[in-house]
Structure 1
Amino acid sequence: MKRPGKDSAESARIISRRGLIVGGMQLGFAAMLAARMRYMQVEQADQFRLLAEENRINVRLIPPARGEIFDRHGLPIAQNEPSYRLTIVREDAGDVDTVIARLSALVELDDEDLNRALTEMKRSPPFLPVTVADRVSWADISRVAVNAPALPGITPEVGLSRGYPLGPDFANVVGYVGPISDYDLSKIEDPDQLLRIPRFQIGKVGIEARLEDQLRGKAGTKRVEVNAVGRVMRELDRQEGQPGASLQLTLDHRLQNYAQARLGNESAAAVVIDCETGDLLAMASAPSFDPNLFVQGISVSDYRALTENKYRPLASKSVQGLYPPGSTFKMVTALAALDAGVISPEETVWCPGHLEVSNRRFHCWKRTGHGHVDLKSSLRESCDVYYYDVALKVGIEKISAMAERLGLGHRFDIPMSAVATGRAPTKEWKSSNTGQEWVVGDTVNASIGQGYVLASPLQLAVMSARIATGRAVSPRLLKSVDGVEQPSGAGEPLGVDEALLRQVRRAMFEVSNNRRGTAYGSRIVTEEFRMAGKTGTSQVRNITAAERARGVTKNEDLPWERRDHALFVNFAPFDNPRYAVAVVVEHGGGGSAAAAPIARDITLQALYGEDPPLTAYPEKDRDRIKALQDRLKRERPDFGTVGKVRT
């Protein structure tokens, strides 16, 4: 049936209206697209051009050469060595398993490193190189190069790795580097981008850690062109970085090696300081370890062997070890009393073998006593009762103040890890740290370097140097940085009366050169090199009244951990001090028997600069010393093959 004309006209009007709406919407959308395109192509053209460029060009870091470390004569202690490695690119290798099998026939591959590489290949894009063998020999590189056609995807590469040519000699001073860990990064607030490079090496302990910022250097950069999936197409340009600073230490490699060898298998430490400049010439800690083991990551078994060793080879005992200084502290008590004017050098004290203080008996090491003793004889024979009596007169505050003036209880600013502060205790210290009041018995114990008193071998060497010179000698370990000399540690006058210091020095001379002196057996015979010293023996256990009644157990009959520490400090030559030395032998027994001979031998080595003549030793010791010198010569490295001394 035919629709009425009126209905047809109405339908046409509706369709026209809808068409206009849809058309208008389409035109509006087209206008918006046109405006947006104009905005992006014209007004934002520079920004999008830059974004496109950044997507195409990557900026990558170039690790700088780490600064090297030398001894005072320019011999390298920590250096950068060529390190050869083999990498594989998965997409070039094709059948990775077959290529790895062929490579294994040519080069010995570590299973742990290989498994790590295979895991990394699965996680990485196929075009990225992955290290399958690190620190391989030049012979291995040559074999791989010759067989290159059969090893698709394998590429030999060369880089720099840290090496320690003198091995254990400087391990406890210089420390070592190792791959950076997540734990290392967590301790750094704003880490350098270099530290985010996988397996980038940083200093872990010692000088390597303390001076990390100077040794690391500044990264270089290179711009590379990459395609859409990140594959490097070509290198556009590069800017080399700034190598780390070269450090020269005050240590003498020959003296350091001798001291390390002379300590032998003991758990011990020795420090040698130049009395004139404060230069540390040797800082030995025994036993030591090979820092090269840590560079690429030490094995679990090797690390366990070090950490479970009761002699603690990883500890830098020369600065980190704290010990009761024993009788080596008696010079401090004597100088405090002399400086305060409460005693004179000629004043005597009666020693019957003990002193009663507050209903408690404090014993002298010599059970029968020393009789009447003055300053000189008390130091010479190490009478304890004399110092008990003197300490009661002068008091702990003045004793502690003198200890600090002589370098005890002070943390010296040298670039090593865990440099200990030690302790010169006061009444306030005990109250604040233990919640207990100071008692007179504490003063008596402190007078002979027991009780709360603690000192490191470094501090004891500084104390000896300050007594020898009358100046506030400070230890210096860093001689120069990039050739710029560092400040001297000569120090200003102590402010102690020179006449009083001479009295104490003379008494120390008696210790080593009088037949009744506790170190007479370890004297230096050569007239111009004679030394002044002081023995020390510090207890690490309490001796009960019952044990004293039946006889004190000898050190050699006790377990090692319960034996006394042995100590000795000295300076030489007596008339013109050049070197001060401190030796501590953990649980070594008596200072005169265990520590004094070592200190005497190290002192002579420093004075002569080589093996001293046998005539420098007491005649009865010369055969033993000759045998010792011959043994140490066999054990000491040939420095001519270690490295070239820088001139």
Structure 2
Amino acid sequence: MRRTARDSEEVARTLNRRTLLLGGAMSAMVAVLGVRMRYLQVDQADEFRLLAEENRINIRLIPPERGLIQDRNGKLIAANEQNYRVVITREAAGDVDLVLRRLAGIIPMTPEELERTIEEVKALRAFVPVTVAERLSWEDFSKVALNAPALPGVVPEVGLSRLYPLDQDFAHVVGYVGPVSEKDLEALETPDPLLKIPKFQIGKIGVEKWMEDTLRGRAGTKRIEVNSAGRVMRELERQEGDPGTDIRLTIDAGVQNFAQARLGEESAAAVVMDVRNGDILCAASSPSFDPNLFVRGISHTDYNLLMEDDHRPLANKTVSGAYPPGSTFKMVTALAALEAGVITADTRVSCPGYIEFGGRRFHCWKRAGHGTVSLERSLSESCDVYYYDIAQRVGIDKIAEMGRKLGLGQRFDIPMSAVTEGIMPDKQWKMERHKQDWRIGDTINASIGQGYVLTSPIQLAVMTARIASGRAVVPRLVRMVNDQALPEPEAAPLGLTPEHLAAVQRGMNEVVNGERGTAKSSRVVDPTLVMAGKTGTSQVRNISAAEREAGVISNDDLPWNRRDHALFVGYAPYDAPRYAISVVVEHGGGGSTAAAPIARDILLRALSDGLPSLDAYPSSQRGRIETMLNELPLRDPITGETPVRTRA
């Protein structure tokens, strides 16, 4: 079919339009490409020239600043200090052995450190930076920076490291940080990427460990450009992370330092607790250690010295030490008997110096006996036979129930390591633990805090605070988080009969202030600060019948580790209780001579703005007390410096 002239003209017009449209689109595309090419080749020429020279972009984590830890008044007890360090990345270093040996000629590195670093670098993925050395002097740090062209993959950095300015005073409470271990990683389901940075440090014990997530913060990131030699050319982008949250504890640094100094190098512990809200003002464990050694990398020599010390400086005795409470437990037995109605405050028991049961003789500490004693006198003079008698009437289950009500036999939820539950035994416990029936002899032993009963100093402080206040106060160690005060939990009443509590409190008052009280030499004469308390002495060895017949060997004549533990619990002021205290001196001998004087001094320090006033002490003791206080190695309140403490 032949086209007409009109059809031919229409086809031509259509083709012309399509050609114009297509040509226009192609022209626009060419224009866009031209603009883009100009941008890449002219405007971005310098950047792409560097990239073309085999530069690489790395993304690195920025460790956050760890949160600070302060005492109740804002004094720093865990801080951060500037740390000059050197890191190396294997993929940028090339010949790691050569580079590290060059570096060893610039900064101090032992052959062992060099070999260990080489092994660590080769064991990790090529792009992971490894810390070679830290805490360098400014001179050594500068040398590394100046020699950077000859040290591919080596980067000098300025970071932060943990510092404990009050060192030994808070070693057991705050703990310390250390490098992340495989064990640490295995304990976490989804580890923070920060933890996989070699030598990144996290809390190992104490508050540092148990509040790690709060203190660590969130990592930032930075994009850096490195050349083919591994040298950092520039930082392209930085996104800051979030610093860790600051924490303020309930502990008073001044009271803590005084307690550590007063305990000296005894193997001992002291806990001071506010009876109104459970705040722990002091948790001193002696002897202590310098946590900064662990942060910086403790030597084998120093670590072995700590491990081999028979006074166990690494143990936090305030919460992990489990001791027979001795006669400090007698208030538990007394309250159990009073609440069960088997005795009254006026009940009297005859003490000839012993009782006999099942063919066995259970002795009172006073060989000649105390005669006829009341409840108050039994506490004041610590008569054992009184408690042997009433314990048989009330039974172990009621005693154990009262012990748990007063805080014994339970693990408190506080951020410290190795918090023990202790043992508050009853019939069911013995059957489950030893597959044996409970015996009356077990009850007699338990009545005076011996046998199976084990308690920690913090539990004894809680017990005393509850007796003083009549409320179920719970220990608290953290006061503020990120400047926000934590609510003070309101302690519920114990539900004990007020008259029964008052009777026990009067007996504790007589212990310290009565004419025949076992702790009368440690009384406080200031009427506004009068102390009530209870001494305790717990045996760590069995006394045979032959030895008792011949005369019990004095603690002074025994090896240190076979002497009795000395204990004291107390509170003050007696009329308006504010603070409760417990002191345990391992193998210290008698509670009245070894533990009570220490407790009095620490309690007076807690009640004072500074050193205890000499007016609080009996006049006959003031000269000796003044000399003792002046010789204590206390920290300067401004500089924080303290003399070096050593054990003779």
TM-score tier by shorter-chain length is 0.7 to 0.9
Q: Match of 2:637?
A: 639
- Cα offsets for 1:382-419 (capped at 9, x unmatched): 00000000101111111111111111111111011111
- The residue aligned with 1:612 is 612
User: What is the alpha-carbon distance in structure 2 between the residues aligned to residue 358 and residue 124 of structure 1?
Assistant: 69
Of residues 610-619 and 134-143 in structure 1, the stretch that sits farther from structure 2 once superposed is 134-143
> CA 1:227–1:508 in 2, change beyond 3 Å: closer, same or farther?
same
Alignment of 1:341-490 (within 5 A): 341-490=341-490
Residue 4 of structure 2 corresponds to which residue in structure 1?
Answer: none
Shift of 1:120: 5.3
Q: Percent identity?
A: 60
Tell me which residue corresponds to 2:33.
none
Match of residue 185 from structure 1? 185
- The residue type equivalent to 1:570 in the other structure is G
Q: CA deviation at 1:68?
A: 1.3
Q: CA deviation at 1:451?
A: 0.6
Aligned residue number for residue 78 of structure 1? 78
Instruction: Classify 1:488/1:531 alpha carbon distance in 2 versus 1 (closer, same or farther; 3 Å).
Output: same
Flag the 1:429–1:149 CA change in 2: closer, same or farther, 3 A.
closer
Gap change, CA 1:229 and 1:591, over 3 Å in 2: same
Are positions 1:495 and 2:495 aligned together? yes
Which stretch has the larger CA shift, 617-626 or 598-607?
617-626
Question: Does the aligned pair in 2 maintain the 1:247–1:478 contact within 8 Å?
Answer: yes
- CA separation of 1:641 and 1:150: change in aligned 2, threshold 3 A: farther
Kindly state the Cα deviation for residue 188 of structure 1 after the two structures are TM-superposed.
2.2
Secondary structure, aligned partner of 1:639: coil
User: In 2, distance between residues paired with 1:520 and 1:110?
Assistant: 60
**Would the aligned equivalents of 2:403 and 2:409 in 1 still touch at CA under 8 Å?**
yes
RMSD value over aligned CA atoms? Answer: 2.7
Structure 1 range deviating more: 249-258 or 337-346: 337-346
Q: How many residues align?
A: 584
Helix, strand or coil at the partner of 1:419: coil
- Distance in 2, matches of 1:359 and 1:624, equals 49
Contact 2:106 2:140 in 1 (8 A): no
Paired position in structure 2 for 1:175: 175
Equivalent-residue separation in structure 1 for 2:539 and 2:469 (angstroms): 30
Q: In 2, are the aligned partners of 1:226 and 1:232 still within 8 Å (CA)?
A: yes
Q: Mean alpha-carbon deviation: is it higher for 288-297 or for 112-121?
A: 112-121
Q: SS of the residue aligned with 1:237?
A: strand
Q: Please give the secondary structure, in 2, of the residue aligned with 1:561.
A: helix
Inter-partner Cα distance in structure 1 for 2:550 and 2:494: 47
Amino acid at match of 1:103: I
Alignment of 1:99-498 (within 5 A): 99-100=102-103, 103-104=106-107, 108-119=108-119, 131-138=131-138, 140-141=140-141, 156-224=156-224, 234-498=234-498
State the Cα distance separating 1:360 from its structure 2 match: 1.4
Preserved contact between residue 397 and residue 427 of structure 2 (Cα < 8 Å):
yes
Q: Per the alignment, do residues 149 and 280 of structure 1 end up closer, same or farther by CA in structure 2, a change over 3 Å counting?
A: closer
Aligned with 1:423: secondary structure?
coil
Secondary structure of the 1:281 match is: strand
- Change in CA separation of 1:492 and 1:125 when aligned onto 2, cut-off 3 Å: closer
Match in the other structure for 1:577: 577
Assess if the C-alpha contact under 8 Å between 1:221 and 1:241 holds in 2: yes
**Residue equivalent to 1:61:** 61
Structure 1 pair 581–56 and aligned structure 2 pair: CA distance change class (3 A): same
SS at match of 1:527: coil
Unpaired segments ≥5 residues, structure 1:
1-54
Closer, same or farther in 2 for the Cα pair 1:550/1:573, shift >3 Å? same
Q: Report deviation, 1:131.
A: 4.5
> What is the TM-score with the length of structure 1 in the denominator?
0.85
Distance 1:582 1:95 in 2: 60
C-alpha separation in 2, matches of 1:567 and 1:318: 13
| Structure-2 change in CA distance of 1:155 and 1:219 (3 Å) | closer
Structure 2: which 5+ residue stretches go unaligned? 1-54, 642-648
| Residues 179 and 297 in structure 1, CA contact (< 8 A), matched pair in contact too | no
Q: 3-state SS of the aligned residue for 2:418? A: coil
Structure 1 CA distance for aligned equivalents of residues 161 and 361 of structure 2: 61
Q: Which residue identity does 2:270 align to in structure 1?
A: A
Structure 1 residue 308 displacement after superposition = 1.0
User: Following the alignment from structure 2 to structure 1, what is the Cα–Cα distance between the partners of residues 265 and 226?
Assistant: 58
Q: Which amino acid aligns with 1:373?
A: V
Whether 2:630 is the aligned partner of 1:627: answer no
Tell me by how many angstroms 1:114 deviates: 3.5
Shift of residue 436, structure 1, vs aligned partner? 0.4
